[in-house]
Every structure is written in structure tokens, then in C-alpha cells.
């Protein structure tokens, strides 16, 4: 499958010959399956590479700590990569607008306790970890295309290394807007690993799928379908 990511995924020389603009355009124009095109590469690597030299990120090439190396060796140093798509019966503009205010995200993202928008670019995230704990990090918007795409990545040195994008594409005919979320959480090894591993419970795919579904419910019906709080099932 010749996807835009497989283009991005080519050797360094070819990559350099693509302009940042073209690379983003290919993500926005979008194939159906983003992660499949990524294969072994990290989403963060791809996103930050195409975000260009404007931001310096602690990438895969940086020196690894001893714990990371041990984690690598025993194979627990795995990142969580999730790709989910849902079609929502609303215009791309309405959906983009709601999502773009990151402080709205905890309304439908269960793993996020709060987001505080610091400025146009930076936001502070607090996520629920097991046993009442929280994990926090700062993230930057690394690309923002009105009504089409928002991409973000945690800043260098953040305790939780994550990145992702949400893409809004009009669906055929009267079918609304296809909303694709691609997210990656990297397991750094060491202290916070266990906490992050549990951030999404046992099934990160399902959790993020559910969060996207709640976004759909909220946008289409004005509320999130629930039985939480009913005395009996």
C-alpha cells in the first residue's frame, strides 16, 4: 500500500526532498490507515520530523537511560499506538472548533482529568492514573489547520511522552465528517511506566475508541449516553 506515510517513511534523502508543507498535506489528505503506514516508526518521530526544525524534541535518537535500555531488552518498552475513526453527523468546522479548545477534551476523554490552555500553542495536561494518582505533562500544538487537522506533542522532558493528531475529513454525500484520531504514548521505562501503562486500562484501543464515540454522542445529541449513576442495571 503506497500511503502518504510510506512516503514519509522512506530513507532520509527522499524525506529531506519533501517540503514540510507537502508532508503535512499528505497527512491531511490522508489515507485510511495511518498507523499501518508508520510500521516501526514512532508517530512522534514522524510528526515532529515534519514539524520541521522549529521545535527541538527529545526524539528516538537521544541517549537512552539504563532503565530504558533494560526495558528495551526485556521487551516491556512498548509504546501505545492507537488509531480510531468515527463518522459524526456534524460539519468539520463545528467539530474542529469544539476539539480545538483542549479544555473541552476531558468532557469525553475519560483518561484526561483536565487540560489547561496556557497560550496559543502550549497546554498543560493532567491524566488519571490508577489508585487516585495523576500524571501531568505539557504539550504543544505542532500543527493547526483550521477545520482539517490539529497535531500535538508533549514538550521535551515531559514525564509522559505522547503525540497525536485529529483529522476532520468530509464524508461522502450527507454522511457528516470522518474524524480520525491517531495517538501514541511512549513507555519511557522506569517510574511512570506502570502508571502510563494503566492510563488506558487493559485495552487502550477500546478506551480511545470509547472516547471518540463519546465525542460523537456529545456532538450529535448534546449529551453522552450513560447509565452511570442509575441505582440498578
DSSP character for 84? E
Residue 202 contacts other proteins per CB under 8 A: no
174: how many CB neighbours lie within 10 A of its CB? 6
Which residue lies nearer to other proteins by CB, 146 or 170? 170
Q: Order of strands, edge to edge, in the sheet holding 80-88?
A: 80-88, 177-186, 161-170, 149-154, 134-145, 122-128, 112-117
Applying CB under 8 A, the site for other proteins has a residue count of: 24
One residue of 11, 53, 172, 222 binding other proteins per CB under 8 A? 222
Which residue lies nearer to other proteins by CB, 22 or 203? 203
Q: CB under 8 A: which stretch of 43-51, 57-65, 73-81, 224-232 binds other proteins?
A: 224-232
For helices 43-50 and 20-29, the axis angle rounded to 10 degrees is 130
Residue 72 contacts other proteins per CB under 8 A: no
Q: Please give the C-alpha separations between residue 47 and each of 32, 59, 136, in angstroms, as whole numbers.
A: 17, 11, 21
One residue of 32, 107, 175, 191 binding other proteins per CB under 8 A? 175
Q: CB under 8 A: which stretch of 7-15, 47-55, 190-198, 220-228 binds other proteins?
A: 220-228
Q: How many helices (H) and strands (E) does the chain have?
A: 9, 7
Residue 206 contacts other proteins per CB under 8 A: yes
23: how many CB neighbours lie within 10 A of its CB? 22
Enumerate binding residues for other proteins (CB under 8 A). 87, 89, 175-176, 206, 209-210, 213, 216-217, 220-233
Amino acid at each position: 500500500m503506497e500511503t502518504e506515510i510510506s512516503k514519509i517513511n522512506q530513507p532520509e534523502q527522499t524525506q529531506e526532498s519533501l517540503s514540510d508543507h507537502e508532508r503535512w498535506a499528505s497527512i491531511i489528505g490522508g489515507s485510511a490507515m495511518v498507523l499501518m503506514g508508520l510500521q516501526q516508526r514512532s508517530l512522534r518521530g514522524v510528526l515532529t520530523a515534519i514539524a520541521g526544525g522549529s521545535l527541538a524534541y527529545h526524539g528516538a535518537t537521544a541517549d537512552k537511560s539504563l532503565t530504558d535500555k533494560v526495558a528495551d531488552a526485556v521487551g516491556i518498552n512498548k509504546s501505545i499506538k492507537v488509531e480510531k475513526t468515527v463518522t459524526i453527523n456534524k460539519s468539520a468546522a463545528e467539530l474542529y472548533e469544539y476539539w480545538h479548545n483542549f479544555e473541552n477534551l476531558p468532557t469525553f476523554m475519560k483518561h484526561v482529568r483536565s487540560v489547561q490552555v496556557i497560550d496559543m500553542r502550549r497546554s498543560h495536561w493532567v491524566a488519571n492514573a490508577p489508585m487516585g494518582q495523576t500524571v501531568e505533562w505539557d504539550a504543544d500544538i505542532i500543527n493547526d489547520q483550521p477545520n482539517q487537522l490539529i497535531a500535538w506533542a508533549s514538550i521535551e522532558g515531559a514525564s509522559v511522552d505522547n503525540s497525536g493528531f485529529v483529522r476532520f475529513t468530509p464524508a461522502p454525500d450527507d454522511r457528516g465528517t470522518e474524524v480520525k484520531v491517531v495517538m501514541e504514548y511512549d513507555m519511557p521505562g522506569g517510574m511512570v511506566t506502570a502508571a502510563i501503562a494503566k492510563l488506558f486500562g487493559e485495552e487502550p484501543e477500546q478506551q480511545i475508541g470509547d472516547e471518540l464515540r463519546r465525542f460523537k454522542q456529545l456532538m450529535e445529541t448534546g449529551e453522552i449516553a450513560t447509565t452511570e449513576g442509575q441505582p440498578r442495571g
